[in-house]
Chains A and B, each alone.
Chain A
């Protein structure tokens, strides 16, 4: 069991719940969703509870993440996009905390489940569509018609734009999911080499040094990826929201 790199993604029921024949059990995935929210919300809540004019360390971190996302959103979607700040900030903090919690041994990685990342991506695209049509009506369709395209090429370009728009939720969700999944599998495989090699006696222990070094290096890399994917998710969210705020305004 210890050497199975897939086992870490298995979902186990903790409290079985079934409503109308559908399984809504509280599982280890649910537990770590709760843990993610509790950790992120708890940190942000207690870090800012002093409301210090001169921030302490925790408050500095909270302020930095706030300003990080705020400047990202302002650059990506302009000042009109700032009304989506709570959404982008929540997404970023949720994904970042889930990724980081997943780095702990024996912890479940919420974002390694395609359904979770897909749901988040659909939330983003859904927000873009709903706000875009609500705010601009049919003018929102201009998002598919780039300006300055000669008439002959227009159908082709519009087709490409529509396909690229439709592929957004897929690329957004698969990018995060695949990164988390592949990283954790790789880590597990290399760590598994260490244990199976060292079981082979003195020579094996000597040989296990290489995968051990690899595991340490990969752990560092995975922390980077954990942050980077949360960042990429937030940046792309900002870019997509820009379409909702300024359709055809490229």
Chain B
């Protein structure tokens, strides 16, 4: 609705184009009261053309587009694209490298764990062996000690028994003499005098009778 009248204006306006550009430079302040269609700007702006279709500025726009876009393209091609590509590639490489490093470290750790477990198992079985031999040695030594002590004790016991027997026999041998003495003393006390032989036989008879 707004654009069409302006478009309609394009064709007739284009014809007056060549005459116009001279007055173009001081055109800006004059264009204060435009209609909404933009049609009535006519004389002041050189052409009444809808501005985007105004061919008077095509050459200038093209030139400056070529200059700016060309510079932009060169900058992109020479600097920005290689730089960005480099950054991304570097990061990609770095990540791949880090992953490789990580997997290498992991396999190393795995080997270390394996070795550790192997050594642990070996140490455990060795410890078991040592404990076993130590236990065996202790047991046999204890048995030997006990046997030695038992033998010694038995020897001492038998020695003690022999001595007891001797003392007993000696004691028994002396019992007769003591009994004679005692009997003699008792008889002496009772009857004043005692015949030694009678008492001796009596004691012997008593001892015999008792035995």
Contacts and interface: CB of A to CB of B under 8 A. Distances in A.
A and B associate in one complex: yes
B72 A37 contact: yes
Interface stretch (A11-19, A139-147, A204-212, A228-236): A11-19
A192 B36 CA distance: 10
A185 interface: yes
B41 to A, nearest CB: 8
B76 A29 contact: no
A177 B52 contact: yes
B71 interface: yes
Contacts of B69: 33, 37, 90, 94, 120
A4 B73 contact: no
B53 interface: yes
**Interface of chain B, helix or strand or loop or mixed?**
helix
A161 B66 CA distance: 30
A86 B38 CA distance: 39
Contact of A6 (B28, B32, B34, B80): B34
Most-contacted residue by chain A among B33, B35, B53, B61 (CB, 10 A): B61
**Interface of chain A, helix or strand or loop or mixed?**
helix
Contact of B81 (A51, A52, A89): A89
Interface residues of B, number: 53
Contacts, number: 154
A228 B160 CA distance: 123
Contact of A25 (B28, B60, B72, B75): B60
Contact of B31 (A1, A11, A24, A182): A1
Interface string A120-140: 100000000000000000000
A26 interface: yes
A40 interface: yes
A120 to B, nearest CB: 8
Size bracket of the A interface: 35 or more
Interface stretch (A107-115, A150-158, A215-223, A241-249): A107-115
A80 interface: no
B77 A112 contact: no
Contacts of A3: 36
Interface of A: 1, 3-7, 9-13, 16-17, 22-27, 29-30, 33-34, 36-37, 40-41, 44-45, 48, 51-53, 55, 59, 62-63, 66-67, 85-87, 89-90, 93-94, 112-116, 119-120, 177, 181-182, 185, 189, 192
28 contacts: A4-B35, A5-B38, A6-B51, A10-B45, A13-B24, A16-B25, A22-B59, A23-B57, A23-B59, A30-B64, A33-B64, A41-B80, A44-B80, A44-B84, A45-B75, A48-B87, A51-B86, A52-B87, A66-B81, A66-B84, A85-B81, A90-B69, A93-B72, A94-B72, A120-B69, A181-B52, A185-B3, A189-B2
Given A6-B6, A37-B72, A113-B52, 13 more contacts: A16-B25, A29-B57, A29-B61, A63-B88, A86-B77, A93-B76, A94-B72, A115-B58, A116-B65, A119-B66, A185-B2, A189-B2, A189-B36
